[in-house]
Amino acid sequence: MFPDDTTQLLACDFDGKDWQGDAAAYVAACTEAGVPALAEVSRSGAGAHVWIFFTAPVPASLARVLGMALLRRAIDARDGMSLASYDRLFPAQDFLPT
C-alpha cells in the first residue's frame, strides 16, 4: 500500500483443503468479469495466490471491494465452495494507520 491508502495490486490467498479448485474458480470469476488475473502456486506447494495488477493506483478499499465481489462470483459459480481455502486479501486493510 502506498502512503495515500492506494494500491496497484490485489492478491487473493488460498490455502488448505481444495485450494486448487477454489483458486481456479476465482480466476474463472476474474476472467468472466473481464479482470486480468495471474495465479501462482505458493512456495510451499500447498496453496495459491491470485494476483490482479492495476494500471494506476486505486484506493485500497476499492481494490478490496473488487476482490470480495470476485470471491462471491466464484462461490456462486462453484457449488460447494465453502471458503475453507480462502485465507485473505492483500492489501489486508483499507487504510494505513495514522
* Residue 80 clears pLDDT 80, i.e. is over it: no
Of 53 and 84, the structure prediction assigns the larger pLDDT to 53
Look at the chain and report how many structural domains it folds into: 1
Q: Looking at residue 14, which CATH number applies to its domain?
A: 3.30.70
On whether residue 38 sits in a domain, the answer given is: yes
On whether residue 89 sits in a domain, the answer given is: no
On whether residue 49 sits in a domain, the answer given is: yes
C-beta of residue 92 within 8 angstroms of C-beta of residue 16:
no
Of 72 and 98, the structure prediction assigns the larger pLDDT to 72
For 17-75, write each residue's pLDDT tens digit.
889 999 999 999 999 999 999 999 999 889 999 999 999 999 999 999 999 999 999 99
Question: Which residues, 6 or more positions from 36, have their beta carbon under 8 angstroms from its beta carbon?
Answer: 30, 52, 53
DSSP classification of residue 28: H
* Cell matching residue 6: 492506494
On whether residue 12 sits in a domain, the answer given is: yes
Q: Which pLDDT value is given to residue 82?
A: 76
Of 98 and 39, the structure prediction assigns the larger pLDDT to 39
29-62 per-residue burial string, b: 16 or more CB within 10 A, e: under 16: bbeeeebebebeeeeeeebbbbebeeeeeeebee
Domain that holds residue 66: 7-78
On whether residue 14 sits in a domain, the answer given is: yes
